Homo-oligomer: A and B are copies of this chain.
Amino acid sequence: MNNFEFCNPVKVVFGKGSISRLSTLVPVGSKVLMIYGGGSIKKNGIYNQVVEALKSFNVIEFSGIEANPHYETCMKAVELVRKEQITYLLAVGGGSVIDATKFIAAATCYEGEPWDILSKGGFIKQALPLGVVLTLSATGSEMNERAVISRVSTHEKLNFASPAVFPKFAILDPEVTYSLPERQVANGVVDSFIHVIEQYLTYPVNAKVQDYFAEGLMKTIVEEGRKVLQNPHDYDIRANLMWAATNALNCWIGQGVPQDWSSHRMGYALTAQFGLDHAQTLAVILPGVMAYMHKEKQAKIIRMGEVVFGITGETTDELVQKSIQATEDFFRYMGLKTRLSEYGIKEFDLDALVEPMKQRGWKLGEHGNIDYKVAREILMMRL
């Protein structure tokens, strides 16, 4: 096991009815900016629950956070925060709204040009406090210190991380996910599964707790993911998926082990240039990374296949191939496409897709050996 140093101070409030706990979680006297997305929370009743719980607070609203939240939109919110002297941010939404809220929290207090936080790793000294009411299980952002923001004008999608943007609390009520569209649910299942993979599927360092935990999360996500679309109102399925997605990226399973976030990083350009959902990019790319890096990742691929998908076989090659296929089959079972060509993307497009990697000189993967050329080969395999 590798050395590590980590703290995750997020208070989790889990279970049905827990939105009513808001009034005791937001500090008395706060001036709150409630941040949300396109307004679906007004249709499904979450908006009313939040407003009711916060009726004794001074609350201003900022809506219109997009999927893959835009830097430009966030900066409008920063203006409002400053103008209204907001003291507390409340994200009501999924990963995009939470990520946007984290960036708003940091950008408000940032002394230089806020884009530097994303493009240059600008150090975040402080941020406004923020809380979360989660409406969509997927990214784990509700219990971590990370965010991903897109800049429309330059087709860029970049991430940052800082302990200053850990949410103070995260309210996780599985019932609020009952009314989500199937596509979002399926995306969430695939996204959280791949978050586990990115912290698990490298080379073994004999970190038993982390490996068993990761396998437990993958088993939960596969078992419950296969059932959720047919049983949208099953509380236990929703609760297990929600808690698994949070644990998939609250960063504990990744402590002390090598990580490989190449599928995520390579996927950013697919979202920025072709508008694919985040999870859709992962479902296409991950099988390619597994296949291209099957020698480096062999031990873990075989173990994952056996434990999570029940794969058996005679030879190492057979076990590896079957495990990769089972992974792709699971994504397709959830309704996601797994080939670039299914999104109309052709070989002609690949150079542009790896151009951001070339410009930034990224070398991805647990061995740092996926540069833009290797990335192109991997994408080529996924046409």
Complex Cα–Cα for A1 and B240 (A): 8
> Please, which residue of chain B has its CB at the minimum distance from the CB of A244?
B209
A2 to B18: give the CA distance in the assembly, Å. 12
Q: Establish whether residues B11 and A5, one from each chain, have CB atoms under 8 Å apart when the complex forms.
A: yes
A290 to B174, CA, bound (A): 33
Taking a contact as CB atoms under 8 Å apart, the answer to whether B7 and A236 are in contact is no
Hey, which chain B residues are within 8 Å of A239, CB to CB? 1, 207, 256
> Whole-angstrom distance between the alpha carbons of A5 and B25 in the complex?
11
Which residues of B are found within 8 Å of A219, using beta-carbon distances? 208, 212
In this assembly, does A12 line the interface, its C-beta being within 8 Å of a C-beta of chain B?
A: yes
Contact indicator A9/B9 (Cβ below 8 Å): yes
Contacts of A209 in B (CB 8 A): 216-217, 220, 240, 243-244, 247
Is A299's beta carbon under 8 Å from chain B? Answer: no
| Nearest B residue (CB) for A245 | B209
Contact of A240 among B11, B207, B244 (CB under 8 A): B207
B5 near A12 (CB under 8 angstroms)? yes
Report the interface size for chain A: residues with CB under 8 A from the other chain.
Answer: 43
Q: Is A215 an interface residue (CB 8 A)?
A: yes
> Out of B11, B223, B224, which one reaches A6, CB within 8 Å?
B11
A8 interfacial by beta-carbon distance below 8 Å: yes
The one of B7, B11, B18, B215 that contacts A11, using a Cβ cutoff of 8 Å: B7
A27 to B150, CA, bound (A): 38
The answer on a CB contact under 8 Å between A14 and B7 is: no
Smallest CB separation, A237 vs chain B (Å): 9
Expressed in whole angstroms, the minimum distance between the Cβ of A93 and any Cβ of chain B is: 21
* A58 at the binding interface (Cβ < 8 Å): no
Say whether A240 contacts B206, CB under 8 Å.
yes
Most chain B CB neighbours (cut-off 10 Å) among A240, A244, A256: A240
Q: Complex Cα distance A17/B3, Å?
A: 9
* Beta-carbon contact of A7 and B5 below 8 Å: no
Q: How far is the CA of A212 from the CA of B13 in the complex (A)?
A: 21
Using A6-B12, A212-B219 as known contacts, list a sample of 17 further A-B pairs with CB atoms less than 8 Å apart, ordered by residue number in A.
A1-B240, A5-B12, A5-B18, A7-B9, A7-B169, A8-B8, A8-B9, A14-B256, A206-B240, A208-B216, A208-B244, A209-B247, A212-B213, A212-B216, A212-B217, A213-B216, A216-B216
Interface residues of A (CB under 8 A from B): 1-18, 21, 169, 206-213, 215-217, 219-220, 223-224, 236, 239-240, 243-244, 247, 255-256
